[in-house]
Structure 1
Amino acid sequence: MTYYDKLHVEGEFEEVIGKTTDALSDEGFGILSDIDVSNAFEKKLGIEDYPEYRILGACNPPLAKQGLDTERDLGVLLPCNVVIYETDDSVVVSAVDPEAMLSVVDNPEMEDIASDVRTRFDRVLETLADK
């Protein structure tokens, strides 16, 4: 079982971040955190040439509330991460598979929420593939 879905996207790194953020917004997700891993490696480790790598912490508030109301400790798995990074020939967008992630929660009530998030993330990736 894989724990993510990914897509190679044409375009400049910052442009792909913008498109990804817009596609997530269209599906009801806001960005709670934006972690610039490359910048952190430069500041903390002195690595100046690490390829661009960002982790966006995406959250859909109504779904997050539903999940937390169902399973109070779910917060340890939130927000849902979307990773954007450079390779030699493209930019990759990788999103956590919420069904795989939430399969560790022993609560059948979480299955519908995970399925909903999965469907929304699939549409985000489809939107990016179409651009």
Structure 2
Amino acid sequence: MNYAHTITSALPFEEAVTKVREELASQGFGVLTEIDVHATFTTKLGDESANALGDYLILGACNPRLAELALTADPDMGLLLPCNVVIRRDPSATVTTIQAINPQTMVQLSNSDKIQDVADQADTHLLAALSALKA
């Protein structure tokens, strides 16, 4: 099993970030956290490291209804929440890469039978958001 769903988009990085936020919202996800890895590298490691990395943003997306189901079924699932969505563009790239965690990862790590249903629902919504970005 691949732990990530990955697509590429011809959209420039900033436009891709905007579209990802819109599509996640249309699927019931809010963004709880945001990590600008490029900015962190600039601050902590210097411009050379940041520029070698390129644009790289990690969004912590959460669908509250699905989070409630997951945490009720298995409180340890909080270790895997929120769902990470990465938008990145290498300095030499002609496309922006967009990735979302594959929620089926939860199933492999939990002993709760109820997690399969939650993972299936989360997977459906995340894949719908990614699919809309391809269009």
Report the CA distance between 1:52 and its aligned residue: 0.3
Q: In the alignment, which residue of structure 2 is the partner of 1:84?
A: 87
Stretches of structure 2 that go unaligned for 5 or more consecutive residues are none
Alignment of 1:100-115 (within 5 A): 100-115=105-120
Q: Quick check: 1:14 aligned with 2:14?
A: yes
Report the CA distance between 1:78 and its aligned residue: 0.5
TM-score by length of 1: 0.95
Report how many aligned residue pairs link the two structures: 130
8 Å CA contact retained: 1:3, 1:101: no
Report the CA distance between 1:48 and its aligned residue: 4.0
Report the CA distance between 1:119 and its aligned residue: 0.5
Q: Distance in 1 between matches of 2:109 and 2:76?
A: 12
Identity %: 36
| Structure 1 vs Structure 2 CA RMSD | 1.0
Q: In the alignment, which residue of structure 1 is the partner of 2:61?
A: 58
The structure in which a higher percent of residues are helix is 2
The one-letter code of the counterpart of 1:3 is Y
With 98-107 and 70-79 compared, the bigger mean Cα shift is at: 98-107
Report the CA distance between 1:76 and its aligned residue: 0.6
Q: In the alignment, which residue of structure 2 is the partner of 1:39?
A: 39
Instruction: Give SS of 2:109's match.
Output: coil
8 Å CA contact retained: 1:84, 1:91: yes
The one-letter code of the counterpart of 1:93 is I
8 Å CA contact retained: 2:89, 2:95: yes
Q: Distance in 2 between matches of 1:89 and 1:101?
A: 33
TM-score by length of 2: 0.92
Q: In the alignment, which residue of structure 2 is the partner of 1:122?
A: 127
Q: In the alignment, which residue of structure 1 is the partner of 2:26?
A: 26
Q: In the alignment, which residue of structure 1 is the partner of 2:103?
A: 98
